[in-house]
Structure 1
């Protein structure tokens, strides 16, 4: 899922009416986006698809999907409407759902071409005033991702290029256009959510470098690292507890799965309770 004050955090499709469906003990009913790699797609090749299969096997169930674009109204028209019972990736502090324990934590990153040898890591790097920078944009409501906000606070605006997180949904993987712009040289560096950036950089025909963004502390309250959990309907403590048991007993397998998709993992700060992406 896309990470609360961040771009990739759950900006959802317009509301439509939905008819609740009855739950089945033999199915793990998953709410997912059919065109949102690396998280999920209708072909079942996303890491959340793979994770759902692992959970279903653990519970002795089969996965059944409700597909819906992860935009405005996603939770309302899937989980809350009773069409499905679990969302595989939500911010750990997402208040529209009952969340499990976080099962991973990731970060925003810089993506550059290896042959440029830029070695960018810091938001305070003076070269950011001159380089062509790409960021994801959510919309016209100011709820843009932390890198866009931090760059704007430094007056780095004219050389920043926005790429819609939604893109053209008729095409595969719309958010990947940002990483493809780095590949082609249209921009020098992308500042993007780590799971998305790591996955598409890993599959790039041009070698790319993915580096966690550093020196973000001075841009509070913007957050650059987020803990991700699973989400169920509020009050569904039985399913939440079963999912927590799965997470507790399969943490190493989950981490291996995420790394295989290029997801940059970071440690949970000891003093933090675990917040979104």
Structure 2
């Protein structure tokens, strides 16, 4: 298994993430036990794990990649989720759309993606609406434990008024806050960028035999996988819905 060693709620070395749990379910269904190649989930992740030059440094499976991701061969998706709004409950906010005029008046936190600090799709849509100066970026690198949770802490502590976060990263940390927070999926918009994504398991390109085995395992354990996702607060969408 290829995985990030410090990236809850997805994975960590203590095997506490939901992708660790799903990996264990699939491995048991295949009559195996998972072993890990650890690497930070950033640029070069697939190159340094699944496609590593040295065979002993390679892994065979990565849990949680976008369906159709071209660096790997992906299975049929096993869940679909979206970006979400996160804001305090009972503070007068009722944000349900990127067109809400209140977004021009409050402090909005967003995750910056990748080594080049790329903005996620909803942030591009905010910029089209003139919402720029009040947007605050949060990195997801290793300056602290569980970096994806920092932005949720900032909402709970009042450092920002709301956040726009990839849903699977939000639900887990929201559930661990003492302050009640609201999680609202961002609905389809008029822009060209998607807000929702189908998520699959990836195997090495050309390894169709392993892909077929993993896909059958997903089908047989789908109910158990869905329970894991729900236990971790992952916002789940109907995979037939085409959200942007």
TM-score over 0.5 (shorter chain): yes
Q: Is the CA contact (8 Å cut-off) linking 2:67 and 2:199 kept in structure 1?
A: yes
Determine whether 1:226 maps to 2:197.
yes
**TM-score with structure 1 setting the length:** 0.83
| Per-residue deviation, residues 95-148 of structure 1 (Å, max 9, x unmatched) | 000001100000100001113141211110011110111111126857310121
1:54 and 2:35 correspond:
no
Following the alignment from structure 1 to structure 2, what is the Cα–Cα distance between the partners of residues 73 and 212? 30
- Check the 8 A contact 2:87/2:161 in 1, yes or no: yes
- Whether 1:65 and 2:65 are equivalent positions in the alignment is no
Kindly indicate whether the alpha-carbon contact (under 8 Å) linking 2:110 and 2:163 is maintained by their aligned counterparts in 1: yes
Decide whether aligned partners of structure 1 residues 140 and 67 sit closer, same or farther in structure 2, where only a CA change above 3 A counts.
closer
Question: Structure 1 unaligned runs (5+)?
Answer: 1-29
- Aligned residue pairs total 240
Q: Secondary structure at the match of 1:116?
A: coil
Give the structure 2 partner of residue 22 of structure 1. Answer: none
2:155 to 178, 182, 191: 182
Contact 1:135 1:147 in 2 (8 A): no
Match of 1:171 in 2: 144
Query: Over aligned residue pairs, what C-alpha RMSD do you find?
Result: 1.7
The DSSP-based 3-state class of the residue aligned with 1:259 is helix
Structure-2 change in CA distance of 1:42 and 1:211 (3 Å): same
TM-score normalised to structure 2 length: 0.94
CA–CA distance in structure 2, aligned partners of residues 205 and 242 of structure 1? 42
1:72 is displaced (CA, Å) by 1.1
Q: Is the 8 A contact 2:3 2:62 kept in 1?
A: yes
Is 1:150 the equivalent of 2:125? yes
Task: Specify which of 171, 174, 186 is matched with residue 201 of structure 1.
Answer: 174
Structure 2 match to 1:44: 15
Work out whether 1:217 is the aligned partner of 2:189: yes
Question: Structure 2: which 5+ residue stretches go unaligned?
Answer: none
Aligned counterparts of 2:67 and 2:95: Cα–Cα separation in 1: 29
Contact persistence 1:34–1:41 (CA under 8 A): yes
In the alignment, what sits opposite 1:131? 106
